[in-house]
A and B are shown apart, each in its own frame.
Chain A
Amino acid sequence: MKSSALLLQYVKRFVPAAILAFCLLFSGLTKASESITLWHSYRGDEAAALVDLIRQWNEAHPEAQVEPLNIPFGAFGQKLSSAIPRGNGPDLFIAAHERLGDYLRNQLIEPVPQKANFDLLMPRCADAMSSDGNVYGIPLAYKSLALFYNKALVSAPPATFSELLKHAKAFSNPSDGKFGLAYEAASAYHHMPFLFGLGGSLFAPDETPLLATDANARSLAFVRDLVAHQHVVPEESTGTLVTQLFNTGKAAYVINGPWFLGEISKDIDFAVAPLPVIDETGKPMQPFLTVEGLFKAANGRTDGMDVAFAYYLIDTPQARHRAEKGHQNVATLTIAGLSETVAPVYRQSYAQFRKQADTAIVTPTVASMRMVWEPLATALRRVLRGAAEPEDALKQSQTRLLALMRPTPEPASSIPYLILLGGLLALAIWWARKAIKAPQFSQRLKKGKTAYIYVAPTALALTALLFLPFVVGSAVSLFAHRGGEFTFVGLKNFWSILTCADYGFTDPLSFYVTLFVTVAWTAINVVLHVGIGMALAMLLREPWLKLRSIYRVLLIVPWAVPNYITALIWKGMFNKQFGAINALLGLLGLEPVSWFSQFSTAFAANITTNTWLGFPFMMVVTLGALQAIPKDLEEAAFVDGATGWQRFRHVTLPLLKPALLPAVILGSVWTFNMFNIIYLVSGGEPDGATEILISESYKWAFERNEQYGYAAAYAVLIFIVLLLFNAFNKRVLSPAAEEAK
């Protein structure tokens, strides 16, 4: 009776609010189904030009309106692969050709019929969008690296690299922050022109990736010479630094892509040229060429209007608009040059990028291409910071590459697993029946009736939205994913992770090494978060502090600002040559530290950033919890002559514990899985040593050929480690908490 009255009240209180919320939340979400949806991640002028053309098209075609949707680059791939198979995808999407192979294997795209105006396109761009004689995308534009030079510092573009080097050396003055040539020397993508220019290659004739070649080693030695001996290229140069140097007139040459045009300051008079020829080999420096095009999504429109729109975009007038207003290097051949109305800088660069495209190498679309980047970048960085000789670094990277490629595990029979699962289910049912039949059970259940009413909404929501997806997601760990196909392999993924089957126990890739780093990372962070947060909260509670509400608000700022941007600012502050932290050390008379070249300093940089981000949360929780502590207890201790520390240790802390303990336990779990900071600050540097389990799992899923099964096995192992941690907590921490009560 009582509980039904309770339920009634419960319903009375919440249902009207819930109905209101539903009405609000579901309103205005019906979608015009007749329109052609187009997903892209264009920004700035490129997006503006596209929107202009869509508007024109929409005026002429009321029956087939195009609706663009701009999606953040970071979520683009995941959104395509979840939405298209469920029929919620777009009709068209704009993406780079490099993923063509993946899209095909995952059945995300359909071939487009070839129409007459395909002849307007640059043949290599059209080829990049084709596979097995079918055309899958309509090329819009291409991108590649080229040479930018400051006209105030350099009169004419160099034809050969030795010419460039001569100018660059004359200009460079590292102590003054001046560099002849600025480019992201540690990025594998930016290294490609040197690698190809010195006769290097990424694949053996049989198309298997091969990094350890003499020519590749020469290219690494060549770049090391530029950075470490000639000092014409800045150390640890990031894209940010390159832009800054060029914009302040402190870099004569820059190697960068067309996106750099939008970043150059108006005060700099510059021009673009194709990359020069390397003297030793007589070969041009060849960058990779990326072609961007419109793909026709699977499960899309069938009346052909989407394809008509795609062909409309590559027609001469529209291509001209994209080139002139969007500053795109369009793939349409009929635009030989831009009209006089366009700023000279863009006219000049347009022509030069077209020239560069003729010698550039179209990025291969084979699946193994994306496996090459990580090991190549590792070798490059190790050579640049003097940790290894080029030959050795490449040999090790070759080993790493083979480890990353992992032979596909043999398929396993699912029958033993099904039997096991059936057995477990039977056991569970038997146990449940036994529990229900136990004499006190129904009594206890009845007693708990009210409690269940209170718990039910939460329990239902969590089961549906957290447990169910997790169980389904975890099941993937029993499969191996290769080329769009899942094969059942049983526990083989776990076996190879736990036995380090593809690499050594002490390799940074090893599960145990990463686990150790993760545990250290979690422990240090939590201690710092709680220590600093609690100390500040204790200071901030003093009633005599006049500005305390101001202090309180200012100190939560790190929690309030989205951490993506502040993490990147911290990364910038740790830059060796230009970062604020080394500048501060310099003021104190200390040597600059190369933060990301050793494990200890890179780890410290990650910890610093995460401590900065994490202490406000603990401070707020402590502030809230402090309110439950009656002041007179402390005052009594004060009267008894206890010192400040004694009062804190024996009166305040035990009272804070029950409210603080959950925050500490949950804080540990969150820090254990804190992906963002590792990914954005150290990025795993040096050589993956600062990687934690969750970032390792992410890399297996998204940067190492989509080995989803292996990544999911990692995720399940993370979960198991945390479960063990929880069991440990129960034993060690809970009695302490009970005692505190």
Chain B
Amino acid sequence: MKKPSTFKYIMVNIALVLAVIITLYPVLWVFKMALTPAQGFSLSLNPIPDTVSLVNFTDVIFNYDLQGRWLFGRQLLNSVIISGATTLLGIAFATTAAYAFSRFEFPGKHGGMSMLLITQMFPGVVMAIPLYILLDTLGLINSLMGMVLIYSTTAVPFCVWMLKGYFDTIPREIEEAAIMDGASQWLIFYKIMLPLARPAIVVTALFSFMTAWNEFILAATFLSDETSLTLPVVLQRYVGDYSTEWGHFAAGAIIVSVPVMALFFALQKHLIGGLTAGGVKG
């Protein structure tokens, strides 16, 4: 598109800067609390910290147990494994199902799509104890695998819906051409559809990752070993019955959010450049 007028350029930038300021203002408070050694929560208009200290971060990171094991390291690893596996499993579940919903006619198709939506309507209040009993029966209590299964099923319905919508926008002519060339169903899915759906896969990957990365109630209920806990559970421990260690909690919150931001930053190229391959116009 044409280069914009200077006026438009300035207005757009002003609008975005304003949006960024409103977005970041509350977050600056998290930084202020994290950088202030005291464990208080202060209220005022100015979110710039008076003193700067990294002690909250070092307290959170250098956390060892009785046997001298580096708990933070293990918990970070658990979080990475669980979230990473959830993302992979979530994408595997979602892309295959979404492809079928988008490209095939079969009995139960419409019911299936509705069912996916319906799963999102289950209020969590009633689910925790039955889930516990189920996981216990399967021997998956206190196991990372159990968490991965739960998180990926939580994330899958959205991913399928999202991907199905995206697959629907991809013209069928491409597959038809591939079928003429003798490509198998699987090859079409794997070699053509998946690369074309890259922006939507990136969004669903981010979504699955975050579902697993930030959850703590189920993780705290289902995991019972210090070395198998995930970071959000550990973070939530700074919130006490009577009082909260705000400094540690804020530092932990920042540590937890950084990977998500980094991931988004790294993936945005794919989000943007997903369709540069050409041939998908119209």
Contact = CB atoms under 8 A, between A and B. Distances in A.
Interface in A39-80: 41, 43-44, 51, 54-55, 58, 67-75, 78-79
A562 B30 CA distance: 11
Nearest to B20: A554
A435 to B, nearest CB: 8
Contact of A543 (B1, B134, B156, B236): B1
Contact of B26 (A462, A612, A655): A612
B162 A659 contact: yes
A454 B97 CA distance: 5
B126 A78 contact: no
B180 interface: no
A14 B121 CA distance: 30
Contact of A542 (B4, B19, B43, B144): B4
Nearest to A449: B106
Contact of B281 (A43, A632, A723): A632
A433 interface: no
A726 B203 contact: no
Nearest to B135: A465
Interface in B137-178: 141-145, 148-150, 152-154, 156-158, 160-162, 164-166, 168-170
Contact of A88 (B100, B107, B142, B268): B142
B104 A72 contact: no
Given A554-B20, A561-B27, A658-B169, 15 more contacts: A6-B185, A24-B144, A31-B225, A43-B237, A67-B226, A465-B149, A545-B13, A551-B19, A559-B210, A560-B261, A561-B253, A565-B30, A620-B206, A632-B281, A658-B165
B48 interface: no
Contacts, number: 428
Nearest to B129: A82
Interface string A420-451: 00000000000000000000010011011011
A469 to B, nearest CB: 4
Given A71-B237, A627-B272, A557 B257 contact: yes
B67 to A, nearest CB: 10
Contact of B243 (A22, A239, A558, A666): A239
Contact of B120 (A260, A542, A670, A714): A670
A692 to B, nearest CB: 11
A94 to B, nearest CB: 11
B271 interface: yes
Contacts of A557: 23-24, 27, 257, 261
Nearest to A32: B225
Contact of A450 (B22, B104, B199): B104
A556 B186 CA distance: 35
Contacts of B261: 553, 556-557, 560
Interface in B50-75: 66
Given A451-B104, A662-B162, A552 B268 contact: yes
Given A71-B220, A722-B121, A630 B85 contact: no
Contact of B161 (A566, A666, A675): A666
A70 B19 contact: no
A17 interface: yes
A45 to B, nearest CB: 11
B76 interface: no
A12 to B, nearest CB: 10
B16 interface: yes
Contact of B127 (A10, A470, A662, A675): A470
Max chain A CB contacts within 10 Å: which of B20, B39, B126, B199?
B126
Interface residues of A, number: 161
Contacts of B141: 86, 88
A620 B217 contact: no
A513 interface: no
Contact of A555 (B20, B107, B112, B272): B20
A452 B105 CA distance: 10
Interface stretch (A161-169, A280-288, A377-385, A693-701): A693-701
A620 B214 CA distance: 18
A655 B227 CA distance: 48
Contact of B166 (A43, A241, A659, A714): A659
Nearest to B204: A624
Interface of A, helix, strand, loop or mixed by DSSP: helix
A152 to B, nearest CB: 19
Contacts of A41: 237, 240-241
B236 to A, nearest CB: 4
A659 B202 CA distance: 14
A542 B12 contact: yes
Contacts of A247: 38, 40
11 contacts: A14-B92, A54-B66, A71-B220, A75-B217, A244-B40, A259-B242, A544-B4, A572-B43, A580-B25, A658-B165, A666-B157
Interface in A483-522: none
Contact of B106 (A451, A542, A658, A722): A451
A455 B99 CA distance: 9
Given A41-B241, A455-B97, A565-B249, A555 B145 contact: no
A68 B266 CA distance: 39
A712 B125 contact: yes
A620 B170 CA distance: 19
Interface in A648-673: 655, 658-663, 665-666, 669-670, 672-673
Contacts of B227: 28
A570 to B, nearest CB: 6
B165 A457 contact: no
Given A458-B156, A466-B119, A553-B264, A29 B144 contact: yes
Interface string B198-237: 0110110010001000101100110011111000110111
B192 interface: no
Contact of A73 (B93, B108, B240): B240
A9 B109 CA distance: 24
A469 B130 contact: yes
Interface string A1-38: 01001100110011001000110111011010000010
Nearest to B238: A43
B265 A549 contact: yes
B122 A719 contact: yes
A741 interface: yes
B237 A465 contact: no
Given A451-B106, A539-B15, A697-B125, A79 B237 contact: no
A542 B39 CA distance: 43
Interface in B233-282: 233, 235-243, 245, 249-250, 253-254, 256-257, 260-261, 264-265, 268, 271-272, 274-275, 280-282
A143 interface: yes
Contacts of B158: 662, 666
A251 to B, nearest CB: 13
B40 A243 contact: yes
